[in-house]
Amino acid sequence: MDEQSSKNLPPSPPKLPIIGNLHQLGVLPHQSMWQLSKKYGSAMLLQLSGITTVLISSADAAREVLKVHDLACCSRPPLACSKVFSYNYRDMAFSPYGDYWREIRKICVLELFSVKKVQSYQFIREEEVALFVDSISHYASSATPINLSEKLIALTASITFRIGFGKSFRGSGLDNERFQAVVHEVESMIGSYNASEFLPFVGWIIDTLSGRFKRL
């Protein structure tokens, strides 16, 4: 990195050899990053071992990144978790910005999210919401506590299943809270770290011994 480009980098906390700032993330990385941002500002540079990361932690800075410099920042990093869950970046959420992403976005807009398509599935949404309301009414009439978060996840899954696969979510292998467990497991994996991504050459050994690759 030349001297001129180094001058343009955001401020950064002191780092250690090899691991960089990894030791400063703590058990709850989002809270650790928030504490660091109070000292180093809303745009901060972190060296996570072999990965150089710019952390944005204010609305103004986020607006600058996402609106003013959106083309330079709109892609996603190629992480192991997102690669597995998206079948090698074949979906719209995790695929790198480029010709493929633009093409599948175009297909989704025309074939899935058009006004005509959305209206054609209105009866499915109405039926599923009616079942959802009836379920809540049943619990209320018997004064039984209900977890609305779980019910809303099930409602979303039911609508998605019927629109996407033409079959009901209820009674499937993912019913009876199995779907919620899968979603929470995926969120946990995506929100955590693979040692192989941060520690070149040796990280894969840690992920293998810890069982992370098998879990993934």
pTM, rounded to two decimals: 0.67
Task: Tell me the average pLDDT across 82-89.
Answer: 89
Cβ atoms 157, 179 nearer than 8 A: yes
Quote the CA–CA distance of 163 and 153 in Å, as a whole number. 16
Task: Tell me the average pLDDT across 176-198.
Answer: 82
Cβ atoms 55, 37 nearer than 8 A: yes
> Percent of the chain at pLDDT above 70?
96
Quote the CA–CA distance of 36 and 78 in Å, as a whole number. 25
Phi then psi for residue 134, to 5 deg, are -60, -40
pLDDT at residue 156 tops 70: yes
SS3 20: strand
